[in-house]
């Protein structure tokens, strides 16, 4: 049995993850971390399952008071990073779906995991289809190096571009390297019209109500284009990846960044 703590139980992802964990025979939810409901239980919160699971607002107190194997963070980058550091220091394996960590933060967490002789996973996207989209885009970039990334998310997402878009660009960069795209004298008449830039690749972020998580990687070549697209239509699309990551984290002895590295 794998004992699990979840941070962010009131969010849409958190609610879906709680339902998934409660439906798995090999998982046991033992505590939750939430900034406003300290001392309550899940059954006392509207919209959450009728479970006698304690809620803490202090991550360190939660980790010290609870016998847990895995910590699942589904919050925001600022608190998610602090949560994850605290979990690792207590020997609890992190499975992090919070995007927006910097490369420096990821490097720091990797060293901390190594020092504490555990393993864990940070995944910009837990949807298996999204991971395949990133891998296929990396394959295509060897042959069609001109590429732009368009990512679309709900209007409550805090970071732009998404962690998935950045990870996709990083994977493409491994096989493509820097390439200046577009006309050499191109000028933006409206600042930001061409999107953000990473090694010559343009990344465009769309934020609208009604969206969940969507990304299209568009390649162009002589007389042709290739589009590789993935859509998460609801948050159930992420649950198989979270489930897989929880199981996999128990066997890891390092912090893995990106689900594509363990599929």
Helix locations, 32-127, DSSP H: 59-65, 77-89, 103-115
Q: Is 157 a catalytic residue?
A: yes
Number of C-beta neighbours around residue 230 at 10 A? 23
Tokens of 256: 């893995």
153, 204, 230, 248: the catalytic one is 153
Helix (H, G, I), strand (E, B) or coil at 30: strand
Beta strand pairing call for 224-232 and 213-221: antiparallel
Which positions make up the binding site?
Answer: 8-13, 34-35, 97-99, 123-126, 154, 163-164
Q: Is 152 a catalytic residue?
A: no
Residue among 172, 180, 176, 162 at smallest CA distance from 228: 172
Give the gyration radius of the chain's Cα atoms.
Answer: 19
83, 157, 204, 248: the catalytic one is 157
Q: Are 131 and 259 in contact (CB under 8 A)?
A: yes
Place of tokens 């296929």: 136
Which residues touch 118 (CB under 8 Å, ≥6 apart)? Answer: 88, 91, 92, 93, 252, 253
Q: Are 262 and 127 in contact (CB under 8 A)?
A: no
Which positions make up the binding site for NADP(+)?
Answer: 35
Report the first-to-last Cα separation within the chain, whole angstroms.
Answer: 23
In angstroms, the CA 246 to CA 257 distance is 14
Tokens of 157: 């997402």
Active site residues: 153, 157
């Amino acid at each position: 049995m794998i004992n699990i703590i979840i941070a962010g139980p009131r969010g849409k992802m958190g609610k879906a993850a709680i339902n998934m964990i409660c439906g798995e025979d090999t998982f046991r939810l033992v505590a939750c971390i939430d900034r406003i409901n300290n001392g309550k239980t899940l059954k006392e919160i509207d919209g959450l399952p009728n479970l006698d699971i304690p809620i803490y607002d202090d991550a360190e107190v939660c980790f010290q008071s609870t016998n847990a194997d895995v910590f699942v963070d589904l919050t925001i980058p600022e608190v998610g990073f602090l949560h994850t550091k605290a979990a690792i220091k207590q020997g609890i394996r992190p499975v992090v779906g919070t995007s927006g960590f910097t490369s420096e933060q990821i490097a720091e967490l990797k060293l901390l995991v190594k020092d504490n002789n555990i393993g864990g996973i940070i995944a910009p996207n837990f949807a298996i289809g999204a991971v395949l989209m990133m891998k296929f885009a990396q394959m295509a970039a060897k042959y069609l190096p001109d590429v732009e990334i368009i990512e679309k998310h709900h209007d409550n997402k805090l970071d732009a571009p998404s962690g998935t878009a950045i990870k996709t660009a990083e994977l493409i960069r491994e096989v493509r390297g820097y390439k200046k795209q577009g006309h050499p004298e191109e000028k933006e008449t409206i600042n930001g019209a061409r999107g953000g830039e990473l090694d010559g690749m343009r990344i465009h972020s769309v934020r609208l109500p009604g969206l969940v998580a969507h990304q299209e990687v568009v390649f162009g070549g002589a007389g042709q284009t290739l589009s590789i697209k993935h859509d998460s239509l609801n948050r159930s699309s992420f649950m198989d990846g979270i489930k897989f990551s929880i199981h996999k984290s128990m066997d890891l002895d390092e912090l893995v960044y990106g689900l594509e590295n363990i599929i």
